[in-house]
Amino acid sequence: MSDKFTVEIISPDQTILKQDTNEVIIPSFEGQMGILYNHIPLITFLRPGIITIKTEGEKKYYVEEGTVEFSNNSLLILTSTARDLADLDKNKIIELLQKAEANLNTQTSDKEKYVASYKFETLKEISQ
């Protein structure tokens, strides 16, 4: 587990994180995905969920959407919604949760429903 790769989380207005890491777990659109050193080049996008970055400790980020690219042992996560879980306070989560719940049944297409339900589930999980 000594082989490290770089992970970058970039939002339109700033670089949120840039560091070396051993393993990253991302909520890719079709399910959780673990990424290790020397993963093959990959492009995917995210559904609402939690990004876990495992180095010595663990860092967790809540995201709603985003694009992920992995090439040459650098992982790039482009998202406008990443939030450090440690910074997210309880009231905000509950507020988001209520909004997500209200949104659950207003979606029409299958894809939107899918995204909305994951958003709700994730928020529910972290609010506990």
Residue in 22, 28, 73, 117 binding another protein, rule: CB under 8 A? 28
| Contact range with another protein by CB under 8 A, out of 29-37, 50-58, 92-100, 113-121 | 29-37
What is the nearest approach in angstroms of another protein to the Cβ of residue 11? Answer: 7
Type and span of the H or E element at 19 = strand 14-21
DSSP assignment of 39-60 equals: PPPEEEEE-SEEEEEESSSEEE
Whole-angstrom CA distances from 100 to 58, 68, 69, 126 are: 26, 24, 27, 13
> Could you give the CA distance from residue 62 to residue 24 in angstroms, rounded to a whole number?
13
Q: Does 17 bind another protein (CB under 8 A)?
A: no
Q: Does 29 bind another protein (CB under 8 A)?
A: yes
Residue ranges that bind another protein, judged by CB under 8 A = 8, 10-15, 28-30, 33, 40-45, 67, 69, 71-72, 76, 78, 80
